[in-house]
Amino acid sequence: NGVHASASPFEACAELNNWLGTPFAETAFGSVLLDAGITEETIKAWSVDPQVTYGAPAMRITGSLFDALEDTETDYCAALCEMIANDGSAKDGIRIIAA
């Protein structure tokens, strides 16, 4: 017996897709993201916890997507996802950081 609790609505959506093959559109949070205009391609890219850059021009934030969304309620998580996706500084809200 076991229980797994996801750290955010986004992680729950990603885990349902990864573990059970549930299409994003068939998860409650995935449909919220798709309705907000976030593409399935972006959601898939985010599912591997990339580094993302977002925020005000003078105060850029770069870090783990999962960390940015951790412990958020559904509405706040969706708003953060929309902000990151619409940041405009990188494809799919993901900025590739050279090693």
Question: pLDDT tens string for the chain (99 positions)?
Answer: 666 678 899 999 999 999 999 999 999 999 999 999 999 999 999 999 999 988 888 988 899 999 999 999 999 999 999 999 988 655 555 554 433
What pLDDT shows up at residue 94?
A: 55
Give the DSSP H or E segment for 46: helix 40-46
Q: For residue 96, what pLDDT is reported?
A: 45
In this structure, what are the phi and psi dihedrals at residue 61, rounded to the nearest 5 degrees?
-120, 130
Phi, psi at 13, each rounded to 5° = -60, -45
Closest CA to 60 of 91, 33, 95: 95
Full-model pTM:
0.81
